[in-house]
Amino acid sequence: MITFTYLNKNEKDIFLPKLFDLLYDNMREIAPSELSYELEKKQWLDNVSPAIDKPARQIILCFDNYKLIGYIQYYISGKLLMVEELQLKKEYHCTLTFYRFCKYFIGTLPADIEHVEAFAEKRNRNSQKLMQKLGMELIDSSSEFVHLRGAANELIKKFIL
């Protein structure tokens, strides 16, 4: 059974390494790094761990029968939702799990969100296509990441039956 829960930030040291491994498994072929696995993991943990301590930053975990299969990392600033990361294990790609995850996530958001933004690694074409399909538009591509933005109400409509 698929379930969702917010990360208890007191347990971040337990979960963040697992979240990195999920991200690494998904991205190592799409956007390989020149760094070793150990160094890449250390850098990610060194950046994400202190960021998660900020009250606005949240992570929702997705489980299938108590097995971690995905997460959404995000923050809200005023009327802006910034989705920093959304990962699902490969075997759950192209399933209804993404839809269910997003539907759950939307149900947790404040009603006054007006815009949604996200970044994607330039080499991750699938992520970019998905965000564009959800109504997000490219607003910057001057770095190794592309920055997309969309109207929250339009994106939310796609998950409401």
pLDDT tens, N- to C-terminus, the chain (161 residues): 999 999 999 999 999 999 999 999 998 888 888 899 999 999 999 999 999 999 999 999 999 999 999 999 999 999 999 999 999 999 999 899 999 999 999 999 999 999 999 999 898 998 999 999 999 999 999 998 999 999 999 998 888 75
pTM score above 0.75? yes
Q: For residue 58, how far is the Cα from the chain centroid?
A: 10
Tell me the two tokens of residue 30.
């799409």
Would you state the pLDDT for residue 12?
A: 97
**Residue-level pLDDT at 29:** 85
pLDDT of residue 161: 58
pLDDT at 25: 95
Q: Which residues contact 23 (CB under 8 A, 6 or more apart)?
A: 44, 85, 87
* Distance in angstroms (rounded) separating the CA atoms of residues 21 and 25: 6
Around Cβ 69, how many Cβ atoms within 10 Å? 19
3-class SS of residue 62: strand
What pLDDT is attached to residue 53? 96
> How many CA atoms lie less than 13 Å away from 116 in the CB half-sphere?
23
Total Cβ atoms within 10 A of residue 87 = 20
Sign of the dihedral defined by the CA atoms of residues 100, 54, 38, 142, in that order: positive
Angle between helical axes of 12-27 and 37-52 (0-180°, round to 10): 130
DSSP code at position 91? G
- Write the CB contacts of 33 (distance below 8 Å, at least 6 apart in sequence): 40
